[in-house]
């Protein structure tokens, strides 16, 4: 197995950024005990673990129903953090939506329910990605550079939905399986970099 590939370089850089964000949110939680930091931490911890698995086991593991299920915690965790921190009026409802979404993705993926998976995965990934994309632009009291989180949300939404379509045997627009595999690792790196810029911005 050759670990020294361009894909693995992007995955390693993504992992370093994800590890930094895990440390950053743990420090924030230790100081303020705010629940949203735990949701963010969950999302980036799963991203870190996923990146390491992709390095050592290869991109083929993306076809695994278990990997698809666990990876859904990335957008769900980050979107729940945003709802908890900036949108208290509907955070309770969104938590229920995220919980139902995770269970639906798990059951349809692990249970081999392909028809229902074609609905569940794009639906819940898409809504979570939309929250991450649009939320930072409407978040009151957020730092000026917080829009970078929205850019990360756009990237995670595109990548997640494209992967979801491929996992169901379909194709989204020009996102063919070969094209998605080509752009996936640099997309993960750019996405994580945008999140790092947005979340660590102080003003």
Residues of the chain above pLDDT 90, percent: 39
What average pLDDT is seen over the chain? 84
Identity of the highest mean pLDDT range in 93-102, 158-167, 179-188: 93-102
What pLDDT is stored for residue 171 in this prediction? 57
Half-sphere exposure of 78 (CA within 13 A, CB side): 36
* Euclidean distance between CA atoms 114 and 199, whole angstroms: 36
Mean pLDDT over 15-33 rounds to: 94
Q: Quote the Cα angle for 84-86-88, to 5°.
A: 60
* Euclidean distance between CA atoms 179 and 131, whole angstroms: 26
| Length of the chain counted residue by residue | 203
Higher pLDDT, 162 or 40: 40
Answer whether residue 160 shows pLDDT above 70: no
* Euclidean distance between CA atoms 166 and 28, whole angstroms: 37
Question: What tokens appear for 21 in the block?
Answer: 């964000």
* Euclidean distance between CA atoms 58 and 8, whole angstroms: 9
Question: What tokens appear for 164 in the block?
Answer: 């979801």
* Euclidean distance between CA atoms 165 and 172, whole angstroms: 6
Answer whether residue 176 shows pLDDT above 90: no
- Cβ neighbours, 10 Å, residue 71: 22
What residues pair up with 169 in beta bridges, in sequence order? Answer: none
Q: Locate the domains of the chain by residue range.
A: 6-199
Residue 24 pLDDT class (50, 70, 90 cuts): very high
Answer whether residue 35 shows pLDDT above 90: yes
Mean pLDDT over 157-175 rounds to: 61
Answer whether residue 163 shows pLDDT above 70: no
Answer whether residue 203 shows pLDDT above 60: no
**Residue 43 near residue 74 (C-beta atoms within 8 A):** yes
What pLDDT is stored for residue 42 in this prediction? 95
Answer whether residue 126 shows pLDDT above 90: no
Higher pLDDT, 85 or 1: 85
Answer whether residue 118 shows pLDDT above 90: no
Q: Which of 87, 84, 74 lies closest to 124, judged by CA?
A: 74
């Amino acid at each position: 197995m050759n670990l020294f590939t361009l894909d693995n370089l992007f995955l390693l850089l993504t992992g370093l950024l994800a590890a930094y964000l895990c440390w950053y949110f743990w420090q924030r939680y230790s100081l303020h005990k705010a629940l949203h930091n735990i949701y963010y931490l969950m999302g980036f911890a799963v991203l870190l673990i996923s990146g390491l698995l992709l390095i050592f086991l290869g991109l083929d593991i993306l076809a695994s129903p278990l990997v698809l299920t666990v990876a859904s915690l990335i957008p769900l965790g980050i979107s729940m953090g945003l709802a908890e921190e900036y949108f208290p009026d509907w955070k309770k409802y969104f938590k229920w939506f995220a919980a139902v979404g995770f269970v639906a993705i798990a059951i349809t993926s692990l249970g081999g329910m392909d028809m229902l998976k074609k609905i569940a995965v794009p639906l819940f990934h898409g809504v979570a990605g939309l929250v991450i994309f649009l939320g930072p632009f409407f978040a009151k009291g957020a730092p000026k550079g917080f829009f970078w989180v929205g850019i990360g949300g756009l990237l995670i939404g595109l990548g997640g939905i494209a992967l979801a379509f491929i996992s169901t045997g379909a194709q989204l627009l020009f996102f063919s399986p070969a094209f998605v595999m080509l752009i996936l690792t640099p997309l993960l790196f750019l996405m994580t970099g945008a999140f790092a810029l947005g979340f660590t911005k102080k003003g």
